[in-house]
Amino acid sequence: MPRKTMAIASLLAFGLATGLLVQSDEVEADRPRVNTQMHGDAAGAPAPDPDTIIVPETLSAPSYFGQIAFEQNCASCHGENGAGGTGNGPPLIHSIYEPGHHGDGAFQRAATAGVRSHHWNFGDMPPVEGIEVETVGLIVSYIRALQRANGIE
């Protein structure tokens, strides 16, 4: 068998095997998970159940306005209160987004420039049309308040 044909056959076999593994993982888990091959088993905790997210009783002024901006610009993909569950984007109330791994600048870049998919299997995130850097700062303040209320620091 020519080398090129063997290489193509190997790639196809790998692709099929990978697809079957991903499909079986999706059947076993009803909440999406981070790719543990890249981040280790600890990062593989499932996305939170949206009903379990703790929302602070009071928010700072920036966080309050961030909540409004989040609901207008982000919730359709990242879920109510950043819990995910939409099938369109990951939960932001997850340990993978703790400040030591994803600093505030990562949120800025994702919202203003878009980001390639690298933790979850939701596809690439396009830039948020018309979003301003200042607005993203307010949104990050809200996300960080939610994370702290849910033990992510």
Q: What is the DSSP letter of 99?
A: T
The angle subtended at Cα 70 by Cα 42 and Cα 61, nearest 5°, is 105
CA distances from 79 to 18, 41, 53, 122 (A): 28, 24, 11, 13
* Confidence at residue 24, expressed as pLDDT on a 0 to 100 scale: 38
Tokens in use for 87? 């099938």
Q: Report how far residue 28's alpha carbon sits from residue 17's, in angstroms, rounded to the nearest whole number.
A: 17
Q: What is the pLDDT along the chain (153 residues), one digit of tens a residue?
A: 555 444 444 444 444 444 433 443 443 345 555 555 555 555 667 778 888 999 999 999 999 999 999 999 999 999 999 999 898 999 999 988 989 889 999 999 999 999 998 888 889 999 999 999 999 999 999 999 999 999 998
* Helix axis angle, 61-73 to 133-149, nearest 10°: 110
Whole-structure pTM value = 0.73
Q: Report how far residue 116's alpha carbon sits from residue 95's, in angstroms, rounded to the nearest whole number.
A: 19
* Confidence at residue 48, expressed as pLDDT on a 0 to 100 scale: 80
* Confidence at residue 32, expressed as pLDDT on a 0 to 100 scale: 55
